[in-house]
Amino acid sequence: MDREDWGSLAAFAERSFTRAAARLGVSPSALSHTMRRLEERLRIQLLARSTRSVSTTDAGERLLDRLGPAIMEISNAVEDLGRLLDRPSGHVRITASRSAARMVVAPVLPRFIKAYPEIVVEILIDAGLTNIVAQRFDAGIRLGESLEKDVVAVPVTGQLRMAVVASPHYFASHPAPSTPHDLGNHRCINFRLPTAGTIYKWEFEQRRQKMEVAVDGPLVFDDEGMIIDAALAGVGLAYVIEEQVASLLHAGALARALEDWCPPFPGFFLYYRGRRQVSPALAAFIDAIRMPAKSRKSR
The per-residue pLDDT for 92 is 92
- The boundaries of every CATH 3.40.190.10 domain in the chain are 85-158+267-299
In eight-state DSSP terms, residue 299 is -
Quick check: pTM over 0.85?
Answer: no
The per-residue pLDDT for 296 is 43
Instruction: Burial-class residue 294 by CB neighbours within 10 Å (0-12, 13-18, 19+).
Output: exposed
Task: Give per-residue pLDDT as tens, 60-105.
Answer: 888 888 887 777 777 767 666 655 555 788 899 999 989 999 999 9
- H or E segment to which residue 47 belongs: strand 47-49
Overall CATH class of domain 85-158+267-299:
alpha beta
- Least confident range from 17-21, 117-121, 160-164: namely 17-21
- Least confident range from 132-136, 174-178, 205-209, 285-289: namely 132-136
- Is pLDDT above 50 for 294? no
What CATH code is assigned to 1-74? Answer: 1.10.10.10
The backbone region for 290, taken as left when phi is positive above 0, alpha when psi lies in -120 to 50, beta otherwise, is: alpha
Q: Is 131 within 8 Å of 15 (Cβ atoms)?
A: no
In eight-state DSSP terms, residue 155 is E
Q: How far is CA 222 from CA 134, 199, 214, 227, in A?
A: 26, 9, 16, 8
What CATH code is assigned to 162-261? Answer: 3.40.190.290
- The boundaries of every CATH 1.10.10.10 domain in the chain are 1-74
Q: Is 55 within 8 Å of 48 (Cβ atoms)?
A: yes
130 pLDDT band, cuts 50/70/90, is: low
- The boundaries of every CATH 3.40.190.290 domain in the chain are 162-261
Task: Give per-residue pLDDT as tens, 251-272.
Answer: 999 999 999 999 999 999 998 8
